[in-house]
A and B are shown apart, each in its own frame.
Chain A
């Protein structure tokens, strides 16, 4: 089973729409969770960390459900500039030697005018 699984999409939504992405992770010991954004032919960039209590940054809301081992990202009032691939990222175990991050394959979002 993959460490991190995401629906690859694509999601095509009109401007102003609300869109939600989900991601599941396999290791219950995972401790850190992030959403990254990757534009076409560019490097991944940190969008937001995901905290246990859930967190919000402007139009973006991230939620963590440890019991079901999934993470979600909600984008409200979509903008054309939100078009990108969104990567779900999970740390397997911060206490391990590496504490490496596992990247999902990404969910592609296209916002149309």
Chain B
């Protein structure tokens, strides 16, 4: 049982490039989330999903897109990367709303 896995672990992007952060969970959780964490700051919710085919915006969705075609996968797409998107990105999942969330190891992204 791997839990929540994320790839890549690290990435450097140039301004204007695009990339997809991958997230997979094997716990059959319906709820999945994407957060970003800037140095010394708390977690901010980017997007979430309550099941395959259903996604919605969190508090900081601008510059990102998501899709959820299967229960297991919840990729995050960055279009036209900007330096303000330099951050650590965590994917998480939970079995139901309001329950504890389990996090992946994170992707450290630098945009220069």
Contacts and interface: CB of A to CB of B under 8 A. Distances in A.
Interface of A: 31-32, 34, 41-46, 49, 87, 91, 93-94, 96-101, 103-106
A106 B101 CA distance: 16
Given A31-B98, A46-B100, A103-B42, 19 more contacts: A32-B99, A32-B100, A41-B88, A43-B90, A43-B105, A43-B106, A44-B43, A44-B90, A46-B102, A49-B100, A94-B97, A94-B98, A97-B97, A98-B56, A98-B97, A101-B101, A103-B43, A105-B40, A106-B42
A90 B56 CA distance: 20
Interface residues of B, number: 22
Contacts of A91: 98
B43 A43 contact: no
